[in-house]
Structure 1
Amino acid sequence: SPFRDMRVWDATGFGHVHFDSATIGEPLLGWIIENRVIQYTLLERVRQLATVELLCPTALKTAEPLKGPGWRVRLDDGREFTTQLLVGADGAQSKVRQQAGIATRGWSYDQKAVVGNVRTAKPHQATAWQRFLPTGPLAFLPLHDGRCSIVWSTTPEQADRLLTLDDAAFAEALAEAFDQRLGEIIEVGRRGAFPLRLQHTRDYIRPGLALIGDAAHVVHPLAGQGVNLGLLDAATLAEVILDALTAGQEIGALKVLRRYERWRKADNLLMLGVMDGFKRLFSNSLPTVGLLRNLGLSLTDAAGPLKNLIARRAMGLEGDLPRLARDLLS
């Protein structure tokens, strides 16, 4: 579902920011696409490619480096093969990363995100909404059929309690937490929750191996950038591989893969740092910090050039983008 506006405000004060696509000369701020839709579309495309062999369902059992660039892979169904380049795109608990012995750094936020889809009494107005509560941000993201996808970051105790509520009680708690901004919650879908943490790998690569997406970095969901970062990783690695093949280079060579790591690591670290800073800023209960936070939001809202720069960066319109991303924007 496309959205044109984003409204962010602090539940404990006067601070707010309104991002509007018209003010930055773009028709939209972005799209909210359900994960299952992305997965289905990509899977259907893979099935159409004669050059791709899809091995599913199965899982990685072991991966061992070869003497040259490349890996020997064993699957849990007994199949075995070697590859010039093994790409770990298998999430925050990446088995590929573990087999490669790549360490991670990070910490738990001592929060869980409660997620699900709901329908509200008032229309979502093609707007992404986010209210910062003392326990964490609550986001309502517009979907194409009039529903909203919610991401409610809160304490583990409250998250567990919210999952045990019946639909009516959950709807009442959700509407109250959102200050009835979209009226009553008239329909509640299935709910789930997952723990929140920051995580980043020391290295994205080994000879013949590359990590992308959550296998390399995990970011707080308050800005909804996790999937975007992963897609940029994939597009960048694809470009690096294609350029290497065109130049007659080994796609698993460290010289080739270092280009991918340099390209993406700095950008990902910047986003992780910004999101971590926002999370800590909005979870600080000191009155002085709260006042400065609200002043900062209101000043940002009033500072057109700064606000537009933030929006364009979050939209992926700024920075060193891979060709696939540039083609989508052209």
Structure 2
Amino acid sequence: MKAGHDVVIVGGGLVGASLAIALDRLGLDVGLVEATPPGSLPAVFDERNLSFADATVNALDALGVMSKLHAPIGAITRIHVSRRGDFGRASLVAADYGREAFGRVVVARDFGQALEARLGELSHLTRYRPARFVGLGEGDAEARIVRISDDDGERDLRTRLLVAADGTRSGVRAALGIEADSHDYLQTLFVARLRAARAPDGTAYERLGDHGPTALLPRGDRHFGLVHGVARDEADAVQGLDDAAFLERVQHAFGWRVGRFLSVGARSVYPAIGTVARQTIAPRAVLVGNAAQTLHPIGAQGFNLGLRDALTLAELIETGGGDPGTPGLLADHARRREEDRGRTLAMSDGLARLTANDAPLLRPLRSLGLFALDRVPSAQSLLVGGAMGYRGEVPALCRKAS
């Protein structure tokens, strides 16, 4: 016998779990298919540092997640952007826009624990874990059949809407026959906790280089969250460096704006590969988060964009007043996400390609761009609005209640 749900979400990571919480408010019967067993967190909830845009903070606060965080949260009150070897830099200050902060820095593991605590409070959620998506069965005009495998073998779930939140290599996306375009930036990113002579003061630094960014995010524990990009063919050698040699390398790439680097924690390694689905909807199915688009981490917009995918879907389901998987509702979702998705993808990809290109003719153009960003209010406002998550048709939960 098939279990029936209004919505089945495949993927219990950042976006999938957040969507389940948003849908529970609507009283929908939701199934969440998760790869990890009870008591464990998905691998994405590691020691990396997540930069939550202001709109994201508003939404997670409304969903009751922010109050579940236990580790100190860092506020981003200033953004400093520069490029090694180029003239010019840009400095953006939240107070100039009447804001306390542009966003917050949260440790992924703490966020995962907060989501887990919130999921445990939901009353309309069925969790299938550990379980994996196997494929699609033969559905009809009213529902999808989702085949999963768990410790008891294979089973079918019947759902009026299937949500793919299963990451960059989405099995659901492949099963739906949706193609995706990928671009390998030939960069590898090292992520770690770093301590410097000067403690964070609310400034997020983005130091651009030929082989990717070196970013420092202000954590709430007097450490910085480090992201250091290296050329792919150098990654193994960099991984083999001891802490002292690694810190020396990062110091050379970043400079001395926060003084000498003193210590670094365990390093995680990720290849920088962008992936964009050619479409985000199919009959009674929708892609959200990394299943829909995986961004280069420059600008730290990946999760923020994916959360807006999920919250827009929840909002449309709430106002739709019935079937969550109708063609009209899904078409509205694709339309509403088009501007935000397109502009955020263009910004992330454009910055990654332009800033990593060491062609001499591009240097004056980059310097001019940074100079304009630092001095032209309209250019600043455009960047700030997007970075804070206010681009396109913003979900209501992202707008702070007055």
The correspondence for 1:232, drawn from 295, 308, 313, is 308
Aligned length: 326
Work out whether 1:184 is the aligned partner of 2:257.
Answer: no
Aligned AA (2:274) = L
Whether 2:177 is the aligned partner of 1:104: answer no
d(CA) in 2 for partners of 1:221, 1:142: 16
CA drift of 1:329 comes to 6.0
**Corresponding residue to 1:273 among 346, 351, 360:** 346
What is the alpha-carbon distance in structure 2 between the residues aligned to residue 207 and residue 296 of structure 1?
Answer: 43
**Whole-Å separation in 2 of the counterparts to 1:305 and 1:264:** 24
Give the unaligned 5+ runs of structure 1. Answer: none
> What SS does the corresponding residue of 1:144 show, helix, strand or coil?
coil
Give 1:180's aligned amino acid. Answer: W
Partner of 2:141: 68
How far, CA to CA, are the matches of 1:329 and 1:138 in structure 2? 35
- 1:141-161: CA deviations, max 9, x gaps? 111101111111221122222
Q: Does 1:316 align with 2:389?
A: yes
Q: Does 1:288 align with 2:361?
A: yes
Number of the residue aligned with 2:191: 115
Among 65, 68, 82, the residue aligned to 2:158: 82
Which stretch shows the higher mean deviation, 193-202 or 203-212?
Answer: 193-202
Per the alignment, residue 252 of structure 1 pairs with 325
Please state how far the C-alpha of 1:225 moved relative to its aligned partner: 0.3
Moved over 4 A (4+): none
Equivalent residues of 2:197, 2:260 under 8 A apart? yes
What fraction of aligned residue pairs are identical, expressed as a percent? 34
User: Does 2:282 correspond to 1:206?
Assistant: yes
- Write the letter of the residue equivalent to 1:89: A
**CA positional deviation for 1:66:** 0.6
- Distance in 2, Cα, partners of 1:135 & 1:173: 13
One-letter code aligned to 2:221: D
AA of the residue aligned to 2:95? A
Pick aligned residue for 1:17 from 90, 100, 106:
90
1:244-303 per-residue CA deviation (whole Å, 9 max, x = no partner) reads: 2x2x3x211111111111111332121111221112221222222101111211122011
SS in structure 1 of the partner of residue 311 of structure 2: helix
Following superposition, the deviation at residue 2 of structure 1 comes to 0.9
Query: Which residue does 1:303 correspond to in 2?
Result: 376
Q: TM-score when scaled to structure 1?
A: 0.94
- Say if 1:92 and 1:215, in contact at 8 Å, map to a contact too: yes
Q: How far apart, CA to CA, are the structure 2 residues paired with 1:132 and 1:311?
A: 18
Give the C-alpha shift of residue 38 in structure 1. 2.3
Q: Is the 8 A contact 2:340 2:391 kept in 1?
A: no
C-alpha distance in 2 between matches for 1:69 and 1:37: 39
Distance in 1 (CA, whole Å) between partners of 2:208 and 2:190 is: 15
- The Cα shift of 1:65 comes to 4.7
The equivalences for 1:11-160 within 5 A come to 11-77=84-150, 78=153, 79-160=155-236
**Residue type at the aligned position of 1:12:** G
Distance 2:122 2:376 in 1: 48
